[in-house]
Each structure stands twice: as C-alpha cells, then as structure tokens.
C-alpha cells in the first residue's frame, strides 16, 4: 500500500448493465477522462421475475470496472443514474466499494484526475478519516464465489435459499503454481466461474454459509467465497 493513499479516498466503481447501455457508459467514462476502466462480458443468473425487479431484463450483461477518487466516483454514479436511468427496467446496477491501497502509478493518475491540489488532498484526507467504519455498518455487500466451471447454478440455488436475488457470472482461468494448489488442497481445474452477488449486509453470513455448505472446498465445486463492503449503490432498491 502506498502512503499517498492516506490523502485520497479511492473507490472501485462497478456497473452491471446490458450491452447497449454499456456503450453509453463507456462514452461517459471517456468524456470524464477516466484514466482506466475495464469492460467484461457476464451472464445474469436471476429468474425472469427477479430480473424484472432488478431492472436487468436480458441475460447478456456487461460489467464495467473503474478506479476513481471518491468524489469522482460519487459524481459518476449520479451521471450513470441520469444517463442510463438506473433503477428502471432493463437498466442495471451500479455501486462503489472502498479500497485501501494502490501502486504509485495508479495513485499519480488518480491524483492528476482530481487536480492534485493541496486543498483537495486535505479534504480527501478529512473525508477518509470521517468515513472509517466497520463492515457491519455497510448496508450492502458484494459476495464473490469462485468455483470450478459448471457450478454457477448450484451456487445460485444455494444463495437463493438463503435470501439472495440474482447474480452475474464471469468466466475465468486459474493462474498459479500447481504445487501450491496441491498444498492447499485446491482444485487444479483451470476453468473457473466467478459469481458476483449483491445482497443486504444482514443476509451476508447466511448466503455465504449456504454457498460454502453446497459448493465449498470439500465439494466438487471447490468453491471459495468472500465478501466486500459496498458504500454506495444505485438500482438495488428491491434487494
């Protein structure tokens, strides 16, 4: 972690939406001179009625990820809500998560985006001190489950039994030492699925336990489950 992050509060901004609106969002990022963002393809997992509730009509999704200073991330959420009409059917979900460190190059880019003024740094530092909080105080969390390919449906069935709505599935490949995998008793299967689930913080433990029981490391899915706090979210009023 770089000491410069003590003066700036950073956020990971994630937008999950349909491909058409993802193009509009990409233009917004470009117009805002956002130094970096990533566009990933994903699949929705919610049943039709839940997809309607979440405003995620079709199953094909794009997941946009960016890293921004907090006040820029807050402003981008407002722009996304207005331009993409987040919250209406077939629009999507956008949210931010706090991060505590970044390498020097990223910090310099983000500070430049913020203007790198002393007053801005002082405000950022004050805001960061003020927003220090515990996981229990966040209203929503993102639960991420990494399992062997082909087990995303089992993960979602377990999560729904504990009160989850829908999720998004990303396909990936494991990269790592075979010896280390064997030492920790992890599956050597390279093809993996990452299931992202947004939920109320009060349901977090039940959902994570249900996933672990059904698709944990001792199962054929060889699943790992983690959760991350969400400090701001739009389009998730019904979950």
What CA–CA distance (Å, rounded) separates 199 from 201?
Answer: 6
CATH 1.10.1200.10 fits 3-132, yes or no: no
**pLDDT tens track for 194-239:** 999 999 999 999 999 999 999 998 899 988 898 989 999 998 754 4
The reported pTM is 0.71
Through-space distance between the first and last CA atoms of the chain, rounded to whole angstroms: 34
Identical fold, 3-132 and 136-234: yes
**pLDDT tens track for 116-146:** 443 443 444 444 444 445 555 788 999 999 8
**Domain ranges across the chain:** 3-132, 136-234
Architecture of domain 136-234: 2-Layer Sandwich (3.30)
**pLDDT tens track for 155-189:** 999 999 999 988 889 888 766 556 656 655 565 56
**pLDDT above 90 (res 59):** no
**pLDDT tens track for 70-123:** 888 999 999 999 999 987 877 889 999 987 666 666 667 677 766 644 344 344
């Amino acid at each position: 972690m770089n000491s410069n992050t003590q003066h700036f509060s950073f956020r990971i901004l994630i937008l999950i939406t349909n491909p058409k609106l993802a193009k509009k969002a990409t233009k917004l990022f470009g117009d805002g001179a956002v130094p970096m963002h990533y566009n990933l393809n994903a699949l929705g997992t919610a049943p039709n009625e839940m997809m309607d509730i979440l405003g995620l009509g079709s199953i094909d999704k794009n997941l946009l990820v960016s890293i921004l200073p907090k006040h820029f991330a807050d402003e981008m959420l407002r722009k996304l809500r207005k331009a993409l009409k987040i919250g209406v059917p077939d629009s999507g979900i956008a949210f931010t998560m706090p991060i505590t460190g970044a390498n020097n190059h990223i910090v310099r880019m983000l500070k430049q985006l913020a203007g790198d003024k002393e007053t801005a740094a002082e405000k950022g530092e004050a805001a960061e001190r003020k927003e220090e909080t515990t996981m229990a105080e966040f209203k929503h969390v993102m639960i991420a489950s990494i399992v062997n390919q082909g087990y995303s449906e089992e993960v979602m069935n377990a999560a729904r039994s504990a009160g989850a709505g829908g999720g998004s599935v990303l396909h990936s490949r494991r990269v790592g030492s075979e010896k280390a995998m064997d030492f920790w008793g992890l599956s050597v299967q390279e093809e993996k699925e990452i299931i992202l689930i947004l939920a109320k913080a009060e349901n977090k433990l039940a959902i994570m336990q249900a996933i672990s029981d059904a698709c944990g490391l001792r199962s054929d899915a060889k699943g790992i489950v983690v959760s991350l706090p969400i400090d701001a979210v739009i389009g998730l009023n019904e979950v």
